[in-house]
Structure 1
Amino acid sequence: MALAAATLLPGRAMASPFREITWEDLIPKGVPYGEIIGPGQIDAVNDTWVPQFDENASKVNTGLDGKPVKLPGYIIPFDVTSDGVTSFMLVPYVGACIHTPPPPPNQLVFVTTEKPWPSESMWDPVWVFGRLSAKAMTTQIAEVGYQIAAEKIEVYEWQ
């Protein structure tokens, strides 16, 4: 019996400290998805569309604040060096914020990374691992509900 328990320990020790979450987890329980209301407006300075959202759009899941998470998504680059992307918006679907109005703030995560993500892999879906901060910020393309300082980024493998 003790031998069986001992053989389980290494597996537990190797378990990921990051909790896998989905985009739905970023919306507090019982809060409907933030809907775009009204026509919005054009930001002529940044040449972007600024949608108007209802009050649910900025409600964040504070239960995830400070938690180590693993979240899949797509990269909208902000800071790009010769080594790759060092800050980006993580979005739930391809083209968000570029070809369509941005999702609600509670569906956007601003990511910074010390290890640049290679530019040639920028359009691949990724997993971002890091401590989630339920801290709003404003970027040049959208209001953002969350931030992560990435500890690891890897290509998302379809299963």
Structure 2
Amino acid sequence: MITLNRRQFALTGASSLLMPAAARAATYQEITWDDLVPPGVPYAEVIGEGEMDEQADTWRPIFDENGVKLNDALNGQQIKMPGYITPLEVTSDGMTEFLLVPYLGACIHVPPPPPNQLVFVNTDTPWPGDDIWDAIWIYGTLQTQLQTTDLAEIGYALTADKIELYEW
């Protein structure tokens, strides 16, 4: 067993303040899309019925209660997860708001995934607008937060600390 006197303890604590911020930064829990579904809810049961909107020529999903159940254990957790971008707010510098979606083209060419499979992301550092077709890693604090946009109902929100291309 190692024992420290008060002076050694104080110096040890003070020296940790001198470490680079990256070394002191919180670690991110890597999660998958399956993790967004609460424990006990089969992933295969998050999609509900739907109906065809003949006038708009689109399929409109109707999610059952499993599609809007969120994993509250992830609320406030620092996470890292992969996904694709569906842009919402684009400036000349890039995207500052987007949906993180589980597959390419979700919410654009096909009906949206259920709310517990969508993450609303905002970032202070715009992501380049020409990188929307590439998979990314997103890092940040996840919040369980049901909200509705013109594109879809969304179950989670995240303010991005870091975004990077997904390396295959």
The TM-score, its normalising length taken from structure 1, stands at 0.84
Match of 1:130 in 2: 140
Larger radius of gyration: 2
Instruction: State whether residues 51 and 60 of structure 2, in contact with CA within 8 Å, keep that contact through their aligned partners in structure 1.
Output: no
| Matched residue type, 1:30 | G
| Matched residue type, 1:104 | P
Instruction: State whether residues 107 and 145 of structure 1, in contact with CA within 8 Å, keep that contact through their aligned partners in structure 2.
Output: yes
Match of 1:143 in 2: 153
- Counterpart CA distance in 1 for 2:154 and 2:91 is 23
- Counterpart CA distance in 1 for 2:36 and 2:54 is 27
| Matched residue type, 2:83 | G
Match of 2:51 in 1: 39
Deviation >2 Å, runs of 4+: 13-16, 40-44, 47-50
- Counterpart CA distance in 2 for 1:134 and 1:42 is 33
Instruction: State whether residues 20 and 71 of structure 1, in contact with CA within 8 Å, keep that contact through their aligned partners in structure 2.
Output: yes
* Stretches of structure 1 lacking an aligned partner (at least 5 in a row): 3-9
Instruction: State whether residues 51 and 59 of structure 2, in contact with CA within 8 Å, keep that contact through their aligned partners in structure 1.
Output: no
Deviations 1:16-67 (A, max 9, x none): 61111000000001112312213254795xx864311111000000000000
* Stretches of structure 2 lacking an aligned partner (at least 5 in a row): 3-18
Deviations 1:97-138 (A, max 9, x none): 111111110000000000000112121110110000011110
Pairing 1:7-156 to 2, within 5 Å after superposition: 13=23, 17-33=27-43, 34-39=46-51, 41=53, 49-156=59-166
Instruction: State whether residues 52 and 58 of structure 2, in contact with CA within 8 Å, keep that contact through their aligned partners in structure 1.
Output: no
Instruction: State whether residues 53 and 59 of structure 2, in contact with CA within 8 Å, keep that contact through their aligned partners in structure 1.
Output: yes
How many residues are aligned here? 148
Aligned CA-pair RMSD? 2.3
- Counterpart CA distance in 2 for 1:70 and 1:91 is 14
